[in-house]
Amino acid sequence: MATVKEKQRCGWAGTDALYNAYHDEEWGVPSHDDHHLFEMLNLEGAQAGLSWYTVLIKRENYRKAFDNWDAEKIAKYSEKKVESLMQNPGIIRNQLKIRGTIANAKAFLAVQKEFGSFDKYIWQFVGGKTIHNKFASMKDVPAKTPVSDAMSKDLKKRGFKFIGSTICYAYMQACGMVDDHVKGCFKFHP
């Protein structure tokens, strides 16, 4: 009787079902949906100083707390709403990160107005196409690149918060602007 061989994944995905689903279905998959791009930008910022898993397990709570990532609603959040979010145990209760999300909503809407879509703006940093890296292992994957440096600088100039170069590179991975699935992973593209 043959045994079913477990899929080989990037080392960070481990054996946790939530991590595996994120790795298999989302990480490195090109996203051109403004709503998803906005969600991921804010979730990556929420991760600052924490593990991605901490954010991932709270993802549904974030969707509920932040009006399903409706940027127009978030941009209008009041002080009362900030106070309410600070009491919400389902999210990371960091006032700077909460206020950063509100600032990001305002900046996001301004970018949409200027470029027609956030997708058109953000994907310009990689020339509109996914960068397929060919790293042998996760230790070879950089934390940031000149492209993430440029993205971070431009986002900051536009008023975005919690978007340092390392966060921008993680964002690029999350939204498929770069594909860093390593050799041996079933998602690796030679």
> In the predicted model, what is the mean pLDDT of the chain?
95
69 labelled catalytic: no
How much is the pLDDT for 6?
76
Query: Taking CA 179 as the corner, what is the angle to CA 120 and CA 70, rounded to the nearest 5 degrees?
Result: 45
User: Which tokens belong to 99?
Assistant: 């206020």
Helix (H) or strand (E) holding 132: strand 131-132
109 compared with 3, residue with greater pLDDT:
109
Q: Which domains are present in the chain?
A: 32-179 (1.10.340.30)
Q: Which of 12, 26, 52, 53 is catalytic?
A: 52
Q: What is the pLDDT of residues 26-76, one digit of tens each?
A: 999 999 999 999 999 999 999 999 999 999 999 999 999 999 999 999 999
Q: What is the pLDDT of residues 2-31, one digit of tens each?
A: 444 578 999 999 999 999 999 999 999 999
How much is the pLDDT for 50?
94
Query: In the 8-state DSSP scheme, what is residue 7?
Result: P
pLDDT tier for residue 190 given thresholds of 50, 70 and 90 = confident
Q: Which residues pair with 178 in a beta bridge?
A: 131
Q: Which of 39, 44, 69, 171 is catalytic?
A: 44
52 labelled catalytic: yes
Q: What is the pLDDT of residues 82-101, one digit of tens each?
A: 999 999 999 999 999 999 99
123 labelled catalytic: no
How much is the pLDDT for 4?
43
What percent of the chain is helix, strand and coil (3-state, nearest 5)? 55, 0, 40
Q: What is the pLDDT of residues 117-172, one digit of tens each?
A: 999 999 999 999 999 999 999 999 999 999 999 999 999 999 999 999 999 999 99
